Amino acid sequence: MQPSAPHSILRQYVEVRMAGSEAEALALQGRLAGLCAQWLTPVIERALERCCPPRGVLRIERLEVDAGSVALGRLEQDLPALLERCLDQALGVHLAGGAGGAADGRAAPRHIGLAQALDEALAHFLRYGTLPAALHLAAGMDFEATLLAAWSADGGALAALDSAATAPAWAAAPGAPTAGQAAGPSALASGQVAAPPAPTADLMAALRGSSALRRLCGQFSTGFQLLLLARLSPALAAALQASLAQLRARAQGATAEAGARLLCRAGLELALHGRVGDARLPLHGALWRGLPEQAARAALAALHPAAPRGDRGRAPAVLRAPPGERGRPAARPDVARGDEHPDRRHGIYLDNAGLVLLHPFLPRLFDALGFSQEGRLLRPGRALALLYFLASGRPSTPEYALALPKLLCALPLTATVEDGVVLTAAECAEAEALLAAVIGHWTALRNTSPDGLRGAFLLRAGKLSERAGEWLLQVEPQTADILLGDLPWGISAVRLPWMERILWVEWT
């Protein structure tokens, strides 16, 4: 499975040749598995640490090391030190190649700044809804907080924008910078600070993708959206910031928040797909097209007493929706390009792989809550949120943590999720009751609490991959797994009533 930060080794192979019988080879295979877990991984970590740049990311596509011959009787004693010496030598030679590339034609080692690496991660998320396998989020930091920390460290003008937006619960981290920790747009608008760095070409391409705006506006706070807009068009960001300040000063509660989200979406749409000139008409028009009439009037009155009702010809195309569709969520998540996730064969890494333990109880729970009926899933957005709550205990749902829940809901991995889903107290209570029922049936757990079940089994690292048209979930083993022998139901094959294919599970 994926090792812990700060280094990511996505695939590791150990090739051994020995002279002996098949039985001896099988015994050696078992020894090597333990050796890799206990000894070789720390050796690799130390070697990588010695060549790691002080700031930024070093990417090595592939590195092969020949450790020579080792006596079987001294495998554990000699192989780690031998491998460490060989790694130091191989890394030195490999890194010395620099921009010239590797001798065998593979890509040369690549050193990039942290902000650029996170831009690439953001582009990956906007396209596919998951984070790259190599990205590790620090404890207590979600993706938005991680991006904000990197941007505030690298971009002077990004710290000049202010937003009073309230971030989602999962977007707040103690000690992390927020979009509201800055002085305001005046310095940016007057040119007193340097312009923020423009997005990379890869990020720009992702931002113009069919699912990007929905993910940006549904998964990130308005403060984050404003900071991103400052990288696309500082002048438009400053103008939008002024409108947001007026809106929040004069409007109340849900009207102000809904209006702020619509204005941010309109600003991003203008910067990415439309004219970035006098943005007032299309920004105001966004309120008319996205809010109920009474709320739109209140928001427009907060911005300007004589605000026009909108110029449909100049408004961004995404906002020109029929009046009957105002505020109505999509019945099912949007799919950008089917299920063609680029990591589906090599593996998508998870931290809630233990959800599969709950599979016998999920159909009845979903039926009771009205999420499903007669083997059909009716409310996939709420089902995704409930699955995430079952594993984590948190009611707000970051999409990048939903790869396995999407599969259990028979949704493509690249599907966008419904915006603004917040579980009710009754739904959370039903989920807690389900966990209590699991503990009651699994007598080996005895007096374990629902949070104890989450920590020991549900929040478990794993890898999801597709092989020959079948999905395989490999769960990282831990010492608590000895209790799986007393589990009164099977988990090797999971297929909920609405799933077309079986999910095969390796948990040993």
Which residue, among 414, 466, 406, has the nearest Cα to 128 in the 3D structure?
Answer: 414
Q: How far apart are the first and last CA of the chain?
A: 13
Overall average pLDDT of the 69-90 stretch: 86
Cis upstream peptide for 185 (omega within 30°): no
The mean-pLDDT minimum among 136-150, 313-327, 364-378, 462-476 falls in 313-327
SS (H, E, C) 36-99: HHHHHHHHHHHHHHHHCCCCCEEECCCCCCCCCCCCHHHHHHHHHHHHHHHHHHHHHHHHHCHH
Long-range contacts of 439-445 (CB under 8 A, 24+ apart): 441/488, 441/489, 442/483, 442/486, 442/487, 442/488, 443/486, 444/483, 444/486, 444/487, 445/483
**pLDDT tens-digit profile of 248-272?**
777 777 777 888 888 888 889 888 8
Burial of 504 from C-beta contacts in 10 A (0-12 / 13-18 / 19+): middle
Q: How far is CA 374 from CA 236, 330, 333, 369, in A?
A: 50, 22, 21, 13
- Average pLDDT value over all residues in the chain: 79
Which residue has better confidence, 83 or 106? 83
Between CA 431 and CA 429 the distance in angstroms is 5
What pTM value is reported for the model? 0.78
Q: Is the pLDDT of residue 317 over 60?
A: no
Between CA 272 and CA 249 the distance in angstroms is 28
Which residue has better confidence, 406 or 51? 406
pLDDT at 150: 83
How many other C-beta atoms lie within 10 A of the C-beta of residue 424?
11
The mean-pLDDT minimum among 31-40, 273-282, 365-374 falls in 273-282
Task: pLDDT band for 489, please (50, 70, 90 cuts).
Answer: very high
pLDDT at 141: 87
pLDDT at 181: 39
How many other C-beta atoms lie within 10 A of the C-beta of residue 412?
18
Q: Is the pLDDT of residue 292 over 60?
A: yes
Between CA 361 and CA 358 the distance in angstroms is 6
Long-range contacts of 391-395 (CB under 8 A, 24+ apart): 391/352, 391/354, 391/355, 391/454, 391/458, 391/459, 392/352, 392/454, 392/459, 393/450, 393/451, 393/454, 394/169, 394/170, 395/169, 395/422, 395/423, 395/428
**pLDDT tens-digit profile of 191-203?**
444 456 788 889 9
Q: Residue 93 corresponds to which tokens in the numbers above? A: 């030679």
pLDDT at 249: 78
Q: Any idea of the CA torsion for 152, 153, 157, 158, to the nearest 10 degrees?
A: -20
Question: Token pair 């996730």 is at which residue?
Answer: 341
Q: Is the pLDDT of residue 309 over 50?
A: no
Task: pLDDT band for 55, please (50, 70, 90 cuts).
Answer: confident
The mean-pLDDT minimum among 154-163, 455-464, 472-481 falls in 154-163
3-state secondary structure of 197: coil
For residue 503, what are the contacts with CB-CB under 8 A and spacing of at least 6?
Answer: 356, 407, 408, 471, 472, 473, 493, 494, 495
Share of the chain above pLDDT 90, in %: 39
Which residue has better confidence, 455 or 265? 455
Q: Is the pLDDT of residue 281 over 70?
A: no
Q: Is the pLDDT of residue 324 over 80?
A: no
